[in-house]
Every structure is written in C-alpha cells, then in structure tokens.
Amino acid sequence: MNRTSDHILVIFGASGDLTRRKLIPALAELKKLKLLPNNFAVLGIGRTVYSDSSYRDMISSHLEERSDVLEMLYYHAMDPEKSEDYPGLQKRLEELKGQLKIDANYIFYLATPPSLYGVIPTSLADIGLLSEDNGFWKRVIIEKPFGTDIDSARELNSSLLMQLKEHQIYRIDHYLGKETVQNVLVTRFSNGIFEPLWNRNFIHHVEITSSESLGVGTRGGYYDHSGALRDMLQNHLLQLVGLVAMEPPTVISSDAIRNEVLKVFQSFRTIEGEDIERHVIRGQYISSHVRGESMAGYRDEKGVPGESRTETFVAVKLFIDNWRWGGVPFYIRTGKRLPNRVTEIVVHFNPTPHTLFASEGTGNRNQLVIRIQPDEGILLKFGMKEQGAGFKVQEANMDFLYKDLSDSYIPEAYQRLLLDCMQGDSTLYARGDAVEAAWRFVDPILKAWQNDPAIPLHGYPCGTWGPEMADSMIEGAEYTWRYPCKNLADDGLYCEL
C-alpha cells in the first residue's frame, strides 16, 4: 500500500553532486517501485540557470537508464542566500500545486553547504512556507555535518528549532538507511538466542570497523577541516554502537527507538586527560605502493595543505557506563586508504570458563560478525571437532549471506530514507539530542588534539590497516582486530608525523 501523501519535494543544491549521484537515482528507483505518490513533483533550486527541460536533460545525462521520474522534475533558479528571492519560490510552488493538483505538503531538502542551514529555514519561515497551521505538513531534511563541535552543534539545533518543531527536522545519517544496519535491530530483538547473551556477563568486547580503500579523492578541501573523527566516527560509527548497545525499545516507533539510542550516547564514558593518548589512536596515510601501484600520501592530495595534521584514521576504545555494558570495551576504527572497503560489527563472546580441548584460532571464543557491507550477511564463528584422532577444536563458520536469498535486492540507503521522510517516519534519522550527545563524547578528543601538539599523529602506509599502535589497542594477549584481509602495501614506513 502506498502510504505517501501528495507533496512537492524541493531540493536546494539541485545541480550538485549529492542530487545527481544519490537523490535522483533514489527517486527513480522509488518511481519504478510505484512508491511515489500520484500527485508529486520535484522542484530543483539552484543559482545556475536551467529551464525545466534543460534541467531534465542535465539530470538525464547522469542517470544510468531513462526514468519516468524525469517528467516529475521542475527547476527554479534563485539565490538561496537572498531573502528577496523567496517570494518567487513561493509563487512557483503555488503554480505547480495548481497545475499538478498537489496539496501544500512540502519537503525541503538542503543538499547545500552547511553554511546555508540557517538562512534557508529562516527565509522559508518568513514567508510562511514552514507553517503547518493549515493542516499540511512541512519537513526539512539536512545532511551532515550537524556542527563541527559541541558548541556549533548546539547553535545549529537551536537555530533550526527557532523555525521548526523537532518532528519537522530530518537529519540524514545514511548509515541508518542501510538495510544491514536496520537488521541489527531485527537480529537482536526477534531472536530468542542472542539477547540473553547480549551483556557484560557473556560478551568480552565489541569491535566495529569501517574501512575504505579509497583516499579523499577530490574532497580534500572539505575533508581537511573534518578528519575521520568528525566525518565518520561522530555520526555513522556511534549510530552503529547505539544500535548494538541499546535496550529493547518498548515499541517500534521513532521516539521509542531514538530514546534508547540517546541513553547509550549519554552513557559513554568521557575520554580525557592521559586516556586520550591511550584510548584514541589517530593516523594519516602516507605514500606507498599497493600491488605495484603508487599511492599518494594524504598531504599530496588536491586541496590538502602540505603540513596537514588532519587524521584519516582513528581508532577509539570506549566504555558504556551502564548496567548492561559496565566494563565491556567497544573498539571502533575507521580510516581511508586501508586495504579494502568493509564495514562490520564483531561481537566477541567470552571464552569457555575452562579449556578442555586444544584449539587453534578462535575455537573456544565465539564471534558474531555482522557484515554491513559488502558481502552483506551474518557469520557465527564457533569451535568444532577436527576430524580424526583426539579432541582438537577447529574454527568453523555458520554463514548467512543476503545474496543467497531468493530476493536478494538490497535497496540503497537514500531510497529508504527519502521514502521514510515522505511518510513522516523519522526512526532512521538522527534526533537533535542524540547528535548533541554524540558531540559531547567526541568534543574532548578534538579539543585535546587541537591544544596538545604532543599527542602523536601516526603515519601509516596506504594499503595497511592503519597505525601499528592501533593493532595492539585491544586488551588481552589472545585478542586482536579481525582483519578481513592482509596488509596490501608493498613498501612504506610507519612513522610519526
């Protein structure tokens, strides 16, 4: 059943990369699946001048195949920074509404630089376009970064809340739109076998890795002001921690789920003082050869200053100080130019209390590996008897892969998230209070890095699993990170930068 009411989706930043690469393809897919409302239009906004038809042509040249969604695209040129341009927008919306018989429900998607997150909602509110008094809904979607530290995050939230109610604000974290991330909730709360073990009595530690083999590419200018901690950890990785660690919600509703995630964030133990050096390792990739191919170091990337001290890798050991998780470390790491692209959550269970059998590998230390991407699936590692004489244990895998399902279609994150917003469901969007709580955890680390140049920044050769220091971060002689593949660098020296 199509539960989506008629509306107009207004995209600010309509000729930008995000719109071309993610939003329009997601809309095209929704159109194909007949999930868009009958009376629906997309109004692209930007400074570049296009007519409706030249905008459609431009978008069409970026689509892999022709889509019916093109006919639903319209374009309005204006400068989003100028309040005097907004009455023109209002007039255009009125015309479209009349022409296409669409109700006055609007989604305003801010696919723009964050510097416009203040001015666009203010100008829309000034001419009444955000008011829900007439019985029609108005929603605003914004993309990260939601601030660059705790103070700016608070400022952003309060400036948005001057024009909008929290239920109208949709903060995208595209990781929450991933099917496999949502499956963390289903795995935990629809199976009787995992949840009884899901606590400090049975879990030794949790490991979360999100690695990328690519470097910063053309985004050096943005990335150098961000770094791995802000770009990936503060949002995507902490959201994963939230889903792994939360209590069961009372019902599946946006508020019930997000309340539980918030409680996890509020229970993070602050990392400060000497612990910063011990529990947070930062690194930056340096040049090397990977399988014979020469890879430039971060400082040689376009838009990156030659002396940059921005981290392209970060690993953190964090504790959640609550009843369920007291004393269980969560190790999380992310980085660019690592050997391959993989995002996975590994839950390491305690070993058996007494070792009866000789074992190799993780024989008596079960692991549940939740594979977010690629090779989406779940793997349970357990010990089984090696065939033949004696009782020797070998490691075996119980393996579920999405691609083995008869219907193995995995929707793209933006597709799911856009549809949810159209249907007024904000479960998979980040709530303002949780965003601030996540910044509260990250902020002391950022401040320490800014203020104390003695905290090391480790250089790691492209194609390796980050600084050597991070390798030994996990406590316990028999434990280390799970390495989904070996280091791939042919050369390059680890160093301090």
Residues tagged active-site: 236
| Residue 207 binds to ligand BG6 (criterion: CB under 6 A) | no
Min dist. Cβ of residue 277 to ligand BG6 (A): 25
- Shortest Cβ 223–ligand BG6 spacing (Å): 7
What is the closest distance, in whole angstroms, from the C-beta atom of residue 403 to ligand BG6 in the complex?
Answer: 18
- Name residues whose C-beta falls within 8 Å of residue 205's C-beta, 6 or more positions apart in sequence: 328, 329, 330, 331, 348, 474, 475, 479
Please identify, using beta-carbon distances, which residue of 70 and 345 lies nearer to ligand BG6: 345
What's the closest the beta carbon of residue 82 comes to ligand BG6, in angstroms? 29
The span from the CA of 130 to the CA of 155, in Å, is 20
Binding residues for ligand BG6 restricted to 408-467, rule: CB under 6 A:
none
- In this structure, the number of other CB atoms found within 10 A of the CB of residue 26 comes to 21
- CA 232 to each of CA 71, 343, 421, 489: distance values in angstroms, whole numbers, following the listed order: 36, 12, 23, 24
Nearest to 410 by CA among 439, 433, 368, 376: 376
Q: How far is the CB of 221 from ligand BG6 (least distance, A)?
A: 13
Omega before residue 145 within 30° of 0, cis = yes
Q: Which residues pair with 377 in a beta bridge?
A: 371, 401
CB of 343 to ligand BG6, least distance (A): 6
> Given the complex with ligand BG6, which of 105 and 209 has the nearer CB atom?
209
Tell me the three state secondary structure of residue 43. strand
DSSP 452: -
Under the binding rule (CB under 6 A), the answer on residue 231 touching ligand BG6 is yes
Please identify, using beta-carbon distances, which residue of 212 and 376 lies nearer to ligand BG6: 212
Q: Considering only residues 154 through 183, tell me which ones interact with ligand BG6, judged by CB under 6 A.
A: none
The dihedral formed by the CA atoms of 259, 209, 342 and 249, expressed in degrees to the nearest 10 = -20
- Which residues inside 314-343 make contact with ligand BG6, applying CB under 6 A? 343
3-state helix, strand, coil in the chain (%, to 5): 35, 25, 40
Smallest distance, Å, CB 282 to ligand BG6?
16
With respect to ligand BG6, which residue has the nearer C-beta, 339 or 383?
339
Select 29 or 231, whichever has its Cβ closest to ligand BG6: 231
Q: Do 4 and 35 touch, CB atoms closer than 8 A?
A: yes
Alpha helices in 267-303 (DSSP H): 275-279
Nearer to ligand BG6, 91 or 341 (CB): 341
Residue nearest to ligand BG6 (CB): 231
Contact 300, 220 (CB under 8 A): no
Tally of CA atoms within 13 A in the half-sphere of 497 that contains its CB: 22
Assess 301 for contact with ligand BG6 (CB under 6 A): no
**By C-alpha distance, which of 393, 383, 326, 329 is closest to 359?**
393
# residues contacting ligand BG6 (CB under 6 A): 4
Token pair recorded at residue 330: 């969560």
Q: Which of 6, 212, 344, 395 binds ligand BG6 (CB under 6 A)?
A: 212
In the complex with ligand BG6, which residue's Cβ is closer, 157 or 343?
A: 343
Give, as ranges, the residues between 341 and 370 that touch ligand BG6 (CB under 6 A). 343
Classify residue 191 by burial, with Cβ atoms within 10 Å: 0-12, 13-18, 19+: exposed
**Helix, strand, or coil here: 167?**
helix
Q: Are 81 and 116 in contact (CB under 8 A)?
A: yes
* Smaller CB separation from ligand BG6, 237 or 264: 237
Write down the least CB distance from residue 384 to ligand BG6, Å. Answer: 33
Binding site for ligand BG6 (CB under 6 A): 212, 231-232, 343
